[in-house]
Every structure is written in structure tokens, then in C-alpha cells.
């Protein structure tokens, strides 16, 4: 089921993502762990290895997302699709807090995706603070 992803495809995905996690925007250059090629729709749910279904993701976002593609809206019980890096624009669903440390959801999809992927986890907040101090955060 899991097919080989070519070196060229891997490079294309990294370049397309500007070498950042496509969920939390963490730069791979300042992450201690190697980023993953994440299947937006998991292989077990019928996803494939095409560029349209692959995203560049940090280890944390990839692990929290796991095989999820939706989250439950606690207000209605409705299943809401998670942020889809190929179909959705980050700035349409998220923004930085005034101090740039937290990602804030500006849509229901954004809010539920932040929760599902734990996009404001402690390690990220600390790293964002250090990157901000170094003039490397928030991303342009």
C-alpha cells in the first residue's frame, strides 16, 4: 500500500512548503527532528502519494494529526474537515496572536485544527519565543 516517494517529489514538497511545517509553520531548519511527508488523507482512508495529498509537517503536528481528517464541533456534534494544506489557505483560517506566540483560529475549521494538532503546544511556544528573539518569527 505504501509506495516509494521519489527524491524529486520529496524535494518538490519541501520547496513548496518553504521548508516549514504546513500546519504550525515551524521552520525545519530550527527543529531538532526531521519533518515528515504527511498524507493529508491517510493511505488507510484511501489517500495516495500524489503531490495533491502530501504535506510537509513537523513531527508533532504529524503525530497529533495521525489518521484524523475531521474533528467534532462541540457546539453541534457535526464533523468538520481539518485544515487541508492543499485546498485551504493558512491565512484564511489562522492568524498569529499579538505577541506572535500563539496561532489563533479565525474559522471553526481553524479552531478545531489547532486543537486536533495541538498547534500551540509548549515546545512550540518556547521555540517561537526564541525564534522571535532572533528575528526569525513570525514567518513573513
Please say which residue, 53 or 117, places its beta carbon nearer to Zn ion: 117
Q: What grid cell was written down for 122?
A: 509548549
Is 84 exposed, middle or buried, given 0-12, 13-18 or 19+ CB atoms closer than 10 A? middle
Please say which residue, 38 or 53, places its beta carbon nearer to Zn ion: 38
Rg (CA), the chain: 15
**CB-based contact 63:74 (threshold 8 Å):** no
Query: Which residues, numbered 39-78, are part of the site for Zn ion (CB under 5 A)?
Result: 58, 61
Please say which residue, 46 or 101, places its beta carbon nearer to Zn ion: 101
- Give yes or no for residue 24 binding Zn ion (CB under 5 A): yes
Q: How far is the CB of 8 from Zn ion (least distance, A)?
A: 24
- Give yes or no for residue 17 binding Zn ion (CB under 5 A): no
Give the residue from 26, 116, 21 showing the smallest Cα distance to 37.
21
Element (H, E) at 57: strand 54-57
Neighbours of 71 (CB within 10 A): 21
Q: What grid cell was written down for 14?
A: 519541501
Please say which residue, 53 or 85, places its beta carbon nearer to Zn ion: 85
Q: How far is the CB of 1 from Zn ion (least distance, A)?
A: 25
- Give yes or no for residue 103 binding Zn ion (CB under 5 A): no
CA 119 vs. chain centroid, Å, equals: 8
Q: Which member of 17, 23, 54, 116 binds Zn ion (CB under 5 A)?
A: 23
Q: Which member of 13, 17, 20, 21 binds Zn ion (CB under 5 A)?
A: 21
Residue ranges that bind Zn ion, judged by CB under 5 A:
21, 23-24, 26, 58, 61
Amino acid at each position: 500500500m505504501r509506495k516509494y516517494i521519489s527524491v524529486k517529489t520529496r524535494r518538490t514538497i519541501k520547496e513548496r512548503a518553504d521548508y516549514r511545517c504546513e500546519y504550525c509553520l515551524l521552520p525545519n531548519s530550527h527543529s531538532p527532528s526531521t519533518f515528515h511527508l504527511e498524507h493529508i488523507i491517510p493511505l488507510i482512508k484511501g489517500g495516495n502519494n500524489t503531490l495533491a495529498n502530501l504535506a510537509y509537517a513537523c513531527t508533532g503536528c504529524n503525530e497529533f494529526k495521525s489518521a484524523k481528517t475531521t474533528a467534532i464541533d462541540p457546539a453541534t456534534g457535526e464533523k468538520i474537515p481539518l485544515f487541508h494544506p492543499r485546498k485551504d489557505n493558512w491565512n484564511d483560517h489562522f492568524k498569529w496572536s499579538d505577541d506572535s506566540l500563539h496561532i489563533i483560529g479565525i474559522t471553526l475549521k481553524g479552531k478545531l485544527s489547532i486543537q486536533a494538532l495541538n498547534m500551540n503546544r509548549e515546545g512550540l511556544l518556547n521555540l517561537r519565543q526564541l525564534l522571535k528573539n532572533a528575528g526569525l518569527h513570525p514567518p513573513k
